[in-house]
Amino acid sequence: MPSTMRPELAPHVRRQIDRVSGRPMLLHPEGAVELSESADAILALCDGARGVEEIIAALAAEFDAPEATLRADVESLLAALAGRGLLKSSS
Amino acid sequence: MSRPYGLLAELTHRCPLRCPYCSNPLELAARREELPPAEWQRVLAEAAALGVVQVGFSGGEPLLYEGLELLIETARREGMYSNLITSAVGLTPARAARLRAAGLDAVQISLQADEAEVGDAVAGARVHAAKLAAAAAVRDAGLPLGLNVVLHAGTIDRLDGIIRLAESLGAIRLELANVQFYGWAHANRAALLPTREQVDRAAEVVAAHAERLGPRLALIYVLPDYHERRPKPCLHGWGSRALTVNPRGDVLPCQAANAIPDLEFPNVRDHDLAWIWRESAAFNRFRGFEWMPEPCRSCPERERDFGGCRCQAALLTGDATRTDPVCEFAPDRGLIDAVLAAPAAPGDWRYRPAAGA
């Protein structure tokens, strides 16, 4: 995961609050992915403008968690989404 | 009981194509039987309230249904992700732009082959060139493009060309679906069934391309179940995650459920979708494990494959409660082996009619 990239969901992916469960969810042509609150908070910051370092800094300002933990969460989430083709490929 | 996530909305059985493996039932609905748009709007609202987040507008050819854009708008307003599952005949740049403006999220175009001569022969219509133009129109409209190809004896050896074509069209996903033998495909089984050598080679071709392409073009390979030893976990279990509403308004746990003769499917004109999902006899018939006979009932695999496909059991044995004959432990596996051993008749199929007009 290059730390210079500015991650963003692919254009065919929609993030929304699920009407039935009230929980965050990603929708894409293949189906739906239920998101944890922390994954949702990370994705809210993935706007194609912020770099990974800025995302981690913003999370650190908002949540009371060690930076190493936040970094690991961000990197594993982005790797998982990229592996499923759910992130915009070039940024 | 779980909620449904997906709704397949079969708006019409009318279609300009005549593919011999069509997933529509042998008894096609006529135009006058089709649900009007206002009924569909109510169905979409009920589906969203029940938990559906994905709707596939399908057919037949959904572009022939007047009111498609209105239904896409409704789906979007209800918070559902909408996918158009189309032959792409009639999908001009102007129509693609209108669909996008209505709120469509994604398009899936069927291709029959990688070359016009073969594709047109399978479709029973001159459509291949128009499909390629429509794929470009979809991309130009800014819509994500998926492609779907049904693989059978006549096309499975063309996988390499098919995958390269999908790549050149800028698709983000390509569904390579080995033909499943229901309805029209079942009637044309001898003409469509690939050999063991063909399916083994196909698996190698897909694996090599998947490795090369990575996530930039997702290859979804649907296994040829007659050649497998274990049944497919059909729909993750009966009445578990998805439902289909056909053009007449009948609600089915799966597109092929018409194969089960003794089940009466509820209709959206008589009941709301929540009742149909939760209470109807048809949706409860094969939920859980109680209905299972041996060898499924005591088999640890039942948690994974749910005894396979009820429609296939009904179609092949006449009894929907029997173990899917594809399973190596099924008492009826001999039925599948006999089909595999029978002489093939590649290309000698009966087309479905371009029906229901």
Q: What are phi and psi of A40, to 5 degrees?
A: -65, -40
Could you report the predicted ipTM of this complex, rounded to two decimals? 0.88
Chain A residues within an 8 Å CB radius of B147: none
Q: Look-up: residue for tokens 């073969």?
A: B118
Closest CB from B83, B142, B215 relative to A85: B215
Angle of CA points A17, A23, A24, to nearest 5°: 55
pLDDT tens-digit map of A49-65: 999 999 999 999 999 89
Closest CB from A20, A31, A85 relative to B54: A31
Q: Cα–Cα distance between B255 and B182 in angstroms, integer?
A: 9
The H or E element spanning position B147 is: strand B145-151
Q: Is A22 on the interface with B (CB under 8 A)?
A: no
pLDDT at A91 over 50: no
- Cβ separation of A30 and B5 shorter than 8 Å? no
Mutate to test the interface with A, among B7, B50, B52, B105 (most CBs of A within 10 A): B105
- Cβ separation of B54 and A18 shorter than 8 Å? no
- Cβ separation of A19 and B51 shorter than 8 Å? yes
Going residue by residue through chain B (357 aa), what tens digit of pLDDT does each one get?
789 999 999 999 999 999 999 999 999 999 999 999 999 999 999 999 999 999 999 999 999 999 999 999 999 999 999 999 999 999 999 999 999 999 999 999 999 999 999 999 999 999 999 999 999 999 999 999 999 999 999 999 999 999 999 999 999 999 999 999 999 999 999 999 999 999 999 999 999 999 999 888 999 999 899 999 999 998 889 999 999 999 999 999 998 898 898 899 999 999 999 999 999 999 999 999 999 999 999 999 999 999 999 999 999 999 999 999 999 999 999 999 999 999 888 889 999 987 654
Helix ranges, chain A (H): 37-45, 52-62, 67-83
- Cβ separation of B220 and A30 shorter than 8 Å? yes
- Reply yes or no: is the peptide bond before residue B295 cis, omega within 30 of 0: yes
Q: Which domains does chain A have, with CATH numbers?
A: 12-83 (1.10.10.1150)
Q: Cα–Cα distance between A42 and A52 in angstroms, integer?
A: 10
Mutate to test the interface with B, among A20, A88, A90 (most CBs of B within 10 A): A20
Ramachandran region, residue B169 (left: φ > 0; alpha: ψ -120 to 50; beta: rest): alpha
CB-facing half-sphere around the CA of A58: CA atoms within 13 A: 15
Q: Is A31 on the interface with B (CB under 8 A)?
A: yes
Q: Is A44 on the interface with B (CB under 8 A)?
A: no
Q: Cα–Cα distance between B90 and A5 in angstroms, integer?
A: 40
pLDDT at A2 over 60: no
